[in-house]
Structure 1
Amino acid sequence: MRTVRRAWALLVALSLPALAGDGGTPEPARFVWPKLQVLEQVESNEMVEAGGVPVALRAVHVKESARELVQRFADAFRDGGLYVPPGKEQPQLASNAAMLTAVDPRRRITYTVILQPQPDGTTTLYLGEANHALARAPGKDTDFAPLPPGAQGVLRINGEGSRTLTFHVPLTGEQVRTFYDGALAKAGWKRGDEAGVYMRSGEELRLVHEPGEGGQRAVVLLLQSRAR
Structure 2
Amino acid sequence: MSALLGGVLVLASPVLAQPKPRAPASAPDAGTPPEPPRFAWPRLQVLEYVESNDIVEAGGIPVALRAVHVKESARELVQRFADAFRDGGLYVPPGKEQPQLANNAAMLTAVDPRRRITYTVILMAQPDGTTTLYLGEANHALARAPGTENDFAPLPPGAQGALRVNTEGSRTLSFQVPLSGAQVQAFYDDALGKAGWKRGDEAGVYTRPGEELRLTHRAGDEGRRAVVLLHQSRAR
Q: Report the TM-score range of the alignment, normalised by the length of the smaller protein.
A: 0.7 to 0.9
Pick aligned residue for 2:180 from 172, 176, 180: 172
Instruction: Give the match for residue 201 of structure 2.
Output: 193
Deviation (angstroms), 1:90 = 2.4
Instruction: Give the match for residue 83 of structure 1.
Output: 91
Letter in 2 for 1:151: A
SS of residue paired to 2:52: strand
Letter in 2 for 1:181: D
Deviation (angstroms), 1:132 = 0.9
The count of corresponding residues between Structure 1 and Structure 2 is: 205
Q: What is the CA deviation profile of residues 145-204 of structure 1, one whole-angstrom value per residue up to 9, with x for unaligned ones?
A: 000111112122211111111222222333222222222222122223333222221112
Instruction: Give the match for residue 4 of structure 2.
Output: none
SS of residue paired to 1:171: coil
Instruction: Give the match for residue 55 of structure 1.
Output: 63
Question: 2:107, 2:130 → 1: CA distance?
Answer: 16
After superposing the two structures, state which structure 1 stretch, 28-37 or 112-121, moved more: 112-121
Letter in 1 for 2:71: K
Deviation (angstroms), 1:94 = 4.8
The share of aligned pairs that are identical, in percent, is 83
Taking a change above 3 Å as real, the CA distance of residues 217 and 88 of structure 1, as seen in their structure-2 partners, is farther
Pick aligned residue for 2:150 from 135, 142, 146: 142
Pick aligned residue for 1:154 from 140, 159, 162: 162
Structure 1 position 38 matched with structure 2 position 46: yes
Taking a change above 3 Å as real, the CA distance of residues 223 and 95 of structure 1, as seen in their structure-2 partners, is farther
RMSD over aligned CA atoms reads 2.1
Report 1 or 2 for greater relative contact order, CA contacts < 8 Å, sequence distance ≥ 6: 1
Question: 1:25, 1:185 → 2: CA distance?
Answer: 61
Question: 1:188, 1:181 → 2: CA distance?
Answer: 11
SS of residue paired to 2:183: helix
Deviation (angstroms), 1:111 = 0.6
Show structure 1 runs of 5+ residues with no match.
Answer: 1-23
- The answer to whether the 8 A contact 1:46-1:58 is kept is no
Instruction: Give the match for residue 16 of structure 1.
Output: none
Taking a change above 3 Å as real, the CA distance of residues 127 and 186 of structure 1, as seen in their structure-2 partners, is same
**Larger Cα-atom Rg:** 2
After superposing the two structures, state which structure 1 stretch, 112-121 or 150-159, moved more: 112-121
Letter in 1 for 2:61: V
Structure 1 position 222 matched with structure 2 position 230: yes
Show structure 2 runs of 5+ residues with no match.
Answer: 1-31
Question: 1:84, 1:178 → 2: CA distance?
Answer: 46
SS of residue paired to 1:141: coil
Question: 1:82, 1:67 → 2: CA distance?
Answer: 21
Question: 2:174, 2:147 → 1: CA distance?
Answer: 14
Q: Is the helix fraction higher in 1 or 2?
A: 1
- Scaled by the length of structure 2, what TM-score is found? 0.78
- The answer to whether the 8 A contact 1:101-1:111 is kept is yes
